[in-house]
Structure 1
Amino acid sequence: MKFAAFFRNLNLGRPPAPTRTVLEAAFTEAGAVDPCSFLTNGTVVFEAGSPAKAARILKAAQATLRRDGFDEPAALRDVAGLAALVASDPLAGVEMDEVYAPCATFLIGTPADGVSLPSTNARGDMRVGDVRVVSWHDGILLSLTYKLGTSAGSPNAFVERTLDVPATTRVWNTVVRLVRKHAATPDP
C-alpha cells in the first residue's frame, strides 16, 4: 500500500527543514519502502504493508528528523483514498473565476469532542473572510481561497483556529498530481 505524509511547515532546503536526501533517508531508516519526496513542500510518498505500519514509519521518521532539528507534525493518508477523492471530482461545478486557489487541508489529529467546523456562515455560503469551505470529510477540508488585498486566504489558519488542531495545506493540484504519479492504475 502507498501512503503520503504531508508535513506542516516543511519547505525542503529552508532551515530548519531537512534536505530531500535527509528527509527520504529518515523514512528509509524507519522502514519505508521506496520513500519519495514529492515536490518541495514536505510531502513524502512511501510504501508500507498496512496503515498501522505506515503510522509507525511516520512516527519513527519524525523522531529522526526531530533529533536533527526539525520538529513539525505530519498528516498521513493512504494514496488510494486520495485517488478516490480526486476521482470524485469534488470541485466539479464550482465557480472558479474569482478563486485564488483551491486547497486541500489535512488535519493532524482529531478535534476535541464537540468541536467542529460550522456548517455555514451568516451569508449561508461557508465563506469565512477569504476562505470558502467546499467539503469536509475524513479529516480533509477542501476549500477555495480568495485574494483580499495583497494576500490570499489561509485555510490552514482557519482550520487550526476553528478546530484547535494542527493542520497542513496543499494546493488541490498538488494532490491531483500526486495521485497521477503515485496511485495504482488499473490494468486496461
Structure 2
Amino acid sequence: MLDTESGRQSLTRLFKSESTAKANGHGVIFIRNGGDFVACGGDDQNVVCVYEIDENGYYRSPIDLHILPNGEAQFLAQSKDFAVEVYTLPNWDLIYSNLCMEEYRGNLHINLKGTFELIEDDPFYDFDYYTYVEGSTANNMQITTWVDDAVRNLDIFELTWDCDDPTSEKRLKVTSLFKQNGGVNFKISGL
C-alpha cells in the first residue's frame, strides 16, 4: 500500500477520517492482508506501525482478533520481538525503524475491546481495515521501543531493506487509551 501514491492516499484518508476511533482522526487502525494484522496508530504528523517477522523473513502478526457474538471485537497482543516503522504524514516517508538494530528492544501491549467498523469501500480490496468506534471497557495500546534512522530502500512487498550507519536513535513511546465514553487519548513521544 505504501508503494503507490493511491495506497498512501488511502491510508492518509483512513487516519484523517471520522471512521477512526476519534472524530479528529487520531486513533488505531488494524490492517489485514490474508490472515496477518498490522497495527498502526497515528496523529496529524506521524504514523507508527508494528508487526513481527517470522523465521523465514515474512510478516507475522502478534495480534489475536476475536469477533464476539454481541457485535464487538477484541484485539489482543503481547510481544517483545516486534518490528516498528515510523512514517511522517502526508507523504508517508519512513523516518525511523528498528529493522537495522541488532535486536529488537521494547514492549508491545494491545487490549482493545468494543464496537468496531470494517471499512470496505477502499480500492485496496485485498486488505481489510478495522477501526474502533467505541470501547466497551477501558482499552489501551502501549508501545515502548528504540528506533533509529538507518533503514534505506525498504521494500514492503519483499520485506527487504538496506542499512546505513544511523545518525539518530530515539526511544519511542506510543500510548493510546480508549475510554468507555468513546474518547481517545493518543500520544506519540520521543520523536
Q: TM-score, normalised by structure 1?
A: 0.25
Structure number with the bigger relative contact order (C-alpha 8 A, sep ≥ 6) is 1
The structure in which a higher percent of residues are strand is 2
Bigger Rg over Cα: 1
Q: Relative to total residues, which structure has the larger helix share, 1 or 2?
A: 1
